[in-house]
Chains A and B, each alone.
Chain A
Amino acid sequence: MKAVPVTCVLLTAALLAPPSLSAQHPHQQPPPKPPAQKPAEDHSHHMHHEQPKDQPKEPIPPLTDADRAAAFPQALEGHTVHDKKLMYYVLFDQLEWQGTSTGGVNLETTTWIGGDIDRLWLRVEGETHDGDVEGVSADALWGRSFSRWWDVVAGLRQDIRPGDPQTWAAVGIQGLAPQWFEVQATGYVGAGGRTRARLEVEYDLLITNRLILQPLVELEIYGKRDPARGIAAGLSSLESGLRLRYEIRRELAPYLGITWDRKLFGTADLARASGEEAGRARVAFGLRTWF
């Protein structure tokens, strides 16, 4: 065991052009030609080779009161760096027009404000179609990092549309899964024991360092049916998107994409019963921006 680092050093020294390590390995070649004359030894350090090991060769200077005063000036408050500075991030992940023959505007933003561990998260979503507001909601969550890659979040969600406003208590996790998948999983409890869960996964695929393809999948599950909003119990919808953006700057990336949303199972049946389509594919043009 002991020989390994030495072997390593020797082999590396042999691979690199010699010379090196003269002090450590006396059998190696002599040190290189000195520039002109060898730098003089520091004579002050060479006086006592045989001094006891617990006494410094160069004595520790005794301290005077002047030394003490200079060492600890009065009333210093300590140094500060920016390690507790409040930071923020506002991301318009989707700010887009979606449509085929008819269309609408889709907005998805994420904001955080806080430090490295604790942050306030705001997620705002809005969607219009044919001039009608289809959905508007906001999550206000306190988030705390509890491990390398994961935060726990808890707070409130307010749905403004569709239907009457609804308030939910929210709890979830978010973070970076292995292989760089960004994951959000949030569970909600609302009035009358309504429950709901959302899972969102997205990924950045680098075509180049500026041209980035972002696949995204969002699943929604409801615990109880809510016919007024066209929702059945169980897995209710899948939203997916594929957006190709070009980062002119990191903060400024126009994109185009396709989205495919599908109502599922009972929720799909309710949609079909009311004459709507269960699935909807659209193209999207938008701008991803943050500050």
Chain B
Amino acid sequence: MSSHRVRPLAPADPSRRTFVKGLAAGGAVAGLGLWRQPSLWAQAQGLKPTIELSGTDFDLTIGETPVNFTGRPRIAYTINGSIPAPILRWREGDTVTLRVRNTLRREDASIHWHGILLPANMDGVPGLSFHGIHPGESYTYQFTVKQNGTYWYHSHSGFDEQKGLYGALVIDAAEPSPVQYDREHVVLLSDWTDEDPRRIFAKLKKQSDYYNFNKRTVGDFFRDVRQHGLSATLADRRMWGQMRMNPTDLSDVTGYTYTYLMNGATPHGNWTGLFTPGERVRLRFINGSAQSYFDVRIPGLKLTVIAADGQYVKPVEVDEFRIATAETYDVIVEPSGAEAFTIFAQSIDRTGYAAGTLAVRHGLRAPVPEPDPPQLLTMADMGHDMAGHDHGAMTAGAAAAADPHAGHHMPAAKPADPHAGHAMPAQPPKPPDPHAGHDMPKQPPAAQDPHAGHDMAAMTAGVQTHPASEQGNPLVDMQAMNPMPRLDDPGVGLRGNGRRVLTYADLRSVFDDSDGREPGRTIELHLTGHMEKFAWSFDGIKFSDAPPIRLQYGERLRVVLVNDTMMSHPIHLHGMWSDLENEQGAFMVRKHTIDMPPGTKRSFRVRADALGRWAFHCHLLYHMESGMFREVRVEE
């Protein structure tokens, strides 16, 4: 029995039935206490339990393994026969050697070490780092580990990651850990499908809403008429119909095909991590899914977030956090007062969840919550967050909770000169607005003064400008008119839920900006897409049509991202950190993957200290493969 699927229905409908599909645990029932306790079920399926490997020398074998997560036998791709792949435990400062053998019969393979600083030829991206690993051949990765924390590794070849090629990386600090804890567990979340991922991709190309069974119906229309009146409902439908967008479009691939896994176990398989009451338990959450966002909470426990993407942050106590695809969060919990607690990770679209248990012994289970009702995207989510918008109230009202930004909109910003702010003498030119006036996406290095007098007014009062390549481009189906950083927005589905939800505004690295220079230039990139075509790109240009983004070795630059789509995109730069900035352009938190919800404009700093050719892409597998990808080339 696997993911619990919620019958798709209108957000406000209180009655919900849960359908359950599949079998118990298709994979290993695994936890640190259990890694070496192979489950009979797993053996019967041919899948080995996920074990932890540590040291400096590792032998990893990519191959095919029969699995059964849903009642239907399938062939997965595995590393050393398990899903997830073995936990690799490294030590900061060590030189690690990883011999990776590809035993697949016909396909090239690869492994990428996500978020790890290393030479480009060790990064594992076929065609950029190396030639890939041909069938029957091996590749030896060797590099010195320069960091510590929680990371992960996965295939970077085609759709192989979706078939099971992913695992956790835990790097112990060279110094004793700055955070004390008594016990730790990796909690790796992922999405399994019985379908061939190439079929999923093809289906999305043919019918992009194939997996969305939560679209608004005639019944929803009449319910909205009752709740909001006919004219508001008509106006709302007219607006979405005008855009040809769907406010229920939260995930491209849903629980319709996905079985969500926690450390390779289905919810019924109930991965269990042990604790002794009174212990401080460090949970290393990793979103190793191909295409899923999860909202994670442990009812009954406070979560103290201590690290994001492997890097320590100032501790912040929350009830719940959203983990974008490829992000990691380290959390301290102190379970007591009960014998079992459910770790509940519902997918952003609420079509299913991964769940497991923290317990004092195996075999226990705490109540598993129902998924929350899905919320609708708002006009703010679409980057159309303009005051006096006729339809915002309706859209927010139709969702279960109000938009926290309601009433914070800009006062009727006229479609004015984006540089209007320059004329305001009262505004000091510093701090410079990182988001202002970047209507020149391809500025040459050092040709531009970043302090050219832009201030916040330019960003907030002006209408967002867009690259010329987006204009009249059939691959671009919308543009954000007034995107905002919205770092303090919990995001659709988490607003006003009565729980304290982590936002990016809560995240502060425990260290200062280690480079310290002001960015010498800005590169603005727009995340673009066409929902109906299922085509994804940057600036309306797909990877195959785009030249590399060239960086000068040693330069400090700012990357501004504008989301011109209605979906969230976790944007990952290989080889270098993405140092997320706050609204004023100051360093806030070091990350390797920046979540870009719809309607946002966010910036991060990059120190180009890694020579070579690097991948830069949306970490949603099917977006990446349809073109939301760039090569970043750091040259001398």
What separation, in Å, do the CA atoms of A48 and B122 have in the docked complex?
32
Please report A residues at the B interface, Cβ cutoff 8 Å.
1-2, 4-9, 11-13, 15-17, 19-24, 31-42, 44-46, 48, 51, 53-58, 60-61, 63, 67-68, 70-73, 76-84, 87, 89, 116-117, 145-149, 176, 178-180, 205-210, 250, 290
Q: Are A76 and B128 in contact (CB under 8 A)?
A: yes
B503 sits at the interface (CB 8 A): yes
Q: Among the listed A16, A38, A178, which residue makes an inter-chain contact with B242, where contact means beta carbons less than 8 Å apart?
A: A178
B15 sits at the interface (CB 8 A): no
Name the B residues within 8 Å of A5 (CB-CB): 456, 460, 484-485, 583
Name the A residues within 8 Å of B489 (CB-CB): 12
Q: Would you give the shortest CB distance from A263 to chain B, in whole angstroms? A: 33
Top-4 shortest CB links A-B? A83-B627, A71-B612, A145-B474, A179-B241
User: Residues 104-123 of chain B: 1 if any A CB is under 8 Å from the residue's CB, otherwise 0?
Assistant: 00000000000000011110
Name the A residues within 8 Å of B178 (CB-CB): 37-40
What separation, in Å, do the CA atoms of A121 and B467 have in the docked complex?
31
Q: Among the listed B404, B427, B532, which residue makes an inter-chain contact with A12, where contact means beta carbons less than 8 Å apart?
A: B404
Given known pairs A35-B332, A79-B631, the reply for A72 and B180 (CB within 8 Å) is: no
Q: Among the listed A17, A42, A56, A81, which residue makes an inter-chain contact with B515, where contact means beta carbons less than 8 Å apart?
A: A56
What separation, in Å, do the CA atoms of A146 and B553 have in the docked complex?
40
Q: Are B460 and A1 in contact (CB under 8 A)?
A: yes
Please report B residues at the A interface, Cβ cutoff 8 Å.
8, 119-122, 125-131, 158, 175, 178-181, 201-203, 205-207, 210, 212-219, 237-238, 241-242, 244, 280, 304, 306, 312, 314-317, 332, 404-405, 408, 410, 421, 424, 427, 455-457, 460-461, 472, 474-477, 484-485, 487-490, 500-501, 503, 505-506, 508, 510-518, 530, 532-533, 535, 537, 542-544, 553-554, 556, 582-583, 588, 607, 609-613, 615, 624-627, 629, 631, 634, 636
Q: Among the listed B131, B219, B456, B530, which residue makes an inter-chain contact with A116, where contact means beta carbons less than 8 Å apart?
A: B530
Q: Are B217 and A9 in contact (CB under 8 A)?
A: no
- For the residues of A in contact with B, the DSSP-based class is loop
Q: Are A57 and B405 in contact (CB under 8 A)?
A: no
Q: Are B127 and A117 in contact (CB under 8 A)?
A: no
Given known pairs A32-B315, A37-B180, A40-B175, the reply for A9 and B511 (CB within 8 Å) is: no
Name the A residues within 8 Å of B636 (CB-CB): 63, 68
Q: Are A76 and B213 in contact (CB under 8 A)?
A: no
Q: Are A147 and B532 in contact (CB under 8 A)?
A: no
Name the B residues within 8 Å of A89 (CB-CB): 205-206
Given contacts A71-B612, A83-B543, 10 further A-B contacts (CB under 8 A): A13-B488, A23-B588, A39-B306, A45-B511, A63-B611, A71-B121, A78-B631, A116-B535, A145-B533, A176-B244
Q: Among the listed A15, A42, A68, which residue makes an inter-chain contact with B611, where contact means beta carbons less than 8 Å apart?
A: A68
Name the A residues within 8 Å of B238 (CB-CB): 179
Given known pairs A42-B511, A116-B535, the reply for A205 and B218 (CB within 8 Å) is: yes
Q: Are B542 and A83 in contact (CB under 8 A)?
A: yes
What separation, in Å, do the CA atoms of A79 and B487 have in the docked complex?
33
Name the A residues within 8 Å of B626 (CB-CB): 81-83
Given known pairs A70-B120, A79-B126, the reply for A35 and B179 (CB within 8 Å) is: yes
Which B residue's beta carbon lies closest to that of A77? Answer: B127
Name the A residues within 8 Å of B532 (CB-CB): 149, 176
Name the A residues within 8 Å of B8 (CB-CB): 209
**Residue of A63, A83, A207 with most chain B CB atoms under a 10 A cut-off:** A83
